[in-house]
């Protein structure tokens, strides 16, 4: 975090300052800010956030032992450290992030990019950060730090030397993106797609569309909306941009897109396409598996080129990215049995895209195996969406469908009803049972997709399979 005095932090968070030891209101704090006491280092600020399973106030003493010099708390704690008592620790974290980013922006050349979409946020964030890091100090989220805690923690990492802040905005309910993006008013707002992810929390895809448009509404005056021309619901956000006096930069596969991809090819070692920006065309060979990641790359290129990075530099840097993120289309195993671990997150759209990728990269004589778990946060749509994925897996001629977990049982039943034969589809209640089956079932030439939402825990099954067949 940039240097702030205890008094300035107290003012930013609307808190009551309780001094300890030799501290005064003018004592400067420059350390990192975190809600996890295990991440403390000398000079850090610990935010004691109450949680569902435990309470951060119980870990203040441990944070101090690890080096914390300030605790932001909701009630005074018996610990040898200066404290700022606030009404709501999560809100205080957001308020502090707003103040820090505003100060950096006012005295530097900080450019802020916000990214949202039903799928692809983390991949796009990583691709864009890879491009921009060679241009200047770039701050981007660790993993998927995109919620009411993770987004402010990312913002608080900016310094006076930071040139780019890339923020990822997720949401589980309407208004969440507006609150997070409103903290910083981005210069660029990237909207990737509107799909069924989190539809249960939003109340349907129309409500999801409205929620994603909150990023465009939060753009600062003169900002730019970077929109997916191939997604009609995203394309409709051009009207929202116009109402904000924001420019629109399009990416997609059609001729009208400002940044477009043609000649897309999917193969076992990655994805290739030709990218055109204006009169310049370049061949892009991504090591990231899946045609759906082409759109994520286009979004990153559209933003970077608007920031003045050449297409040639974008392509060169993107081609150094080996995986988007751990557990996201991550190749494991060996050439003998290839495991694709994509079980960090899942929605109907990403599940369908991953299954299509599996079918596309499997050569004649090789066998497709899909290990599938539940898709979470679909609410009333869960049943029909799991049915649809089970049917799709059969229609894509996936040769072995392994369904894991009671929450995904309808996917299994739909695959059987669609025309599964000769035990093509099998069901296991636990990942351990599925692992035991797969260790004995998999053979040379198998290409195996492991895909589920994070809550299903299949990412660890993917890791075990990758190790077993390495």
| Nearest Cα residue to 189 out of 143, 145, 224 | 224
Q: Which residues are annotated as a binding site for ATP?
A: 117-123
Half-sphere exposure of 22 (CA within 13 A, CB side): 1
Question: Around Cβ 411, how many Cβ atoms within 10 Å?
Answer: 32
| Nearest Cα residue to 393 out of 370, 375, 376, 413 | 370
Q: Which residues are annotated as a binding site?
A: 117-123
Contacts of 331 (CB under 8 A, 6+ apart): 289, 323, 338, 339, 340
With 0-12 CB in 10 A as exposed, 13-18 as middle and 19+ as buried, what is 407? middle
């Amino acid at each position: 975090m940039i240097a702030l005095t205890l008094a300035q932090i107290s003012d930013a968070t609307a808190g009551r300052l309780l001094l300890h030891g030799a501290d005064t209101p003018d004592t400067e704090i420059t350390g990192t800010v975190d809600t996890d006491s295990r991440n403390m280092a000398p000079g850090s600020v610990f935010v004691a956030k109450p949680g569902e399973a435990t309470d951060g106030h119980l870990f203040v003493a441990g944070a101090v032992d690890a080096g914390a010099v300030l605790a932001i708390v909701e009630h005074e704690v018996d610990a040898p450290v200066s404290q700022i008592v606030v009404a709501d620790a999560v809100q205080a974290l957001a308020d502090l992030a707003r103040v820090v980013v505003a100060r950096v922006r006012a005295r530097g050349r900080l450019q802020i990019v916000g990214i949202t979409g039903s799928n692809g946020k983390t991949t796009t964030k990583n691709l864009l950060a890879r491009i921009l890091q060679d241009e200047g100090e770039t701050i981007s989220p660790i993993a998927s730090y995109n919620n009411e805690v993770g987004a402010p923690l990312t913002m608080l990492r900016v310094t006076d030397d930071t040139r780019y802040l890339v923020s990822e905005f997720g949401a589980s309910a309407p208004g969440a993106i507006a609150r997070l993006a409103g903290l910083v008013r981005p210069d660029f707002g990237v909207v990737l797609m509107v799909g069924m992810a989190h539809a249960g929390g939003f109340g349907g895809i129309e409500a999801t569309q409205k929620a994603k448009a909150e990023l465009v509404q939060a753009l600062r005056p003169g900002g730019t909306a970077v929109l997916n021309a191939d997604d009609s619901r995203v394309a409709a956000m051009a009207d929202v941009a116009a109402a904000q006096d924001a420019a629109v930069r399009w990416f997609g596969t059609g001729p009208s897109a400002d940044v477009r991809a043609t000649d897309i090819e999917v193969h076992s070692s990655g994805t290739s396409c030709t990218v055109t920006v204006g009169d310049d065309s370049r061949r892009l060979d991504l090591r990231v598996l899946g045609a759906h990641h082409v759109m994520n790359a286009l979004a990153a290129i559209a933003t970077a080129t608007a920031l003045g990075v050449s297409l040639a530099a974008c392509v060169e840097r993107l081609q150094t990215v080996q995986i988007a993120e751990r557990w996201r289309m991550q190749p494991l195993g060996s050439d003998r049995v290839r495991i694709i671990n994509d079980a960090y997150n899942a929605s109907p759209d990403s599940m369908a895209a991953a299954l299509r990728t599996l079918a596309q990269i499997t050569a004649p004589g090789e066998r497709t195996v899909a290990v599938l778990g539940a898709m979470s946060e679909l609410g009333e749509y869960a049943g029909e969406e799991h049915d649809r994925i089970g049917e799709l897996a059969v229609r894509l001629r996936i040769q072995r469908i392994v369904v894991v977990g009671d929450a995904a049982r309808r996917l299994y039943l739909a695959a059987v009803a669609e025309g599964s034969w000769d035990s093509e589809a099998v069901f296991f209640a636990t990942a351990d049972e599925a692992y035991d089956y797969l260790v004995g079932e998999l053979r040379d030439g198998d290409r195996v997709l492991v895909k589920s939402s994070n809550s299903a825990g299949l990412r660890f099954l993917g890791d075990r399979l990758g190790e077993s067949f390495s």
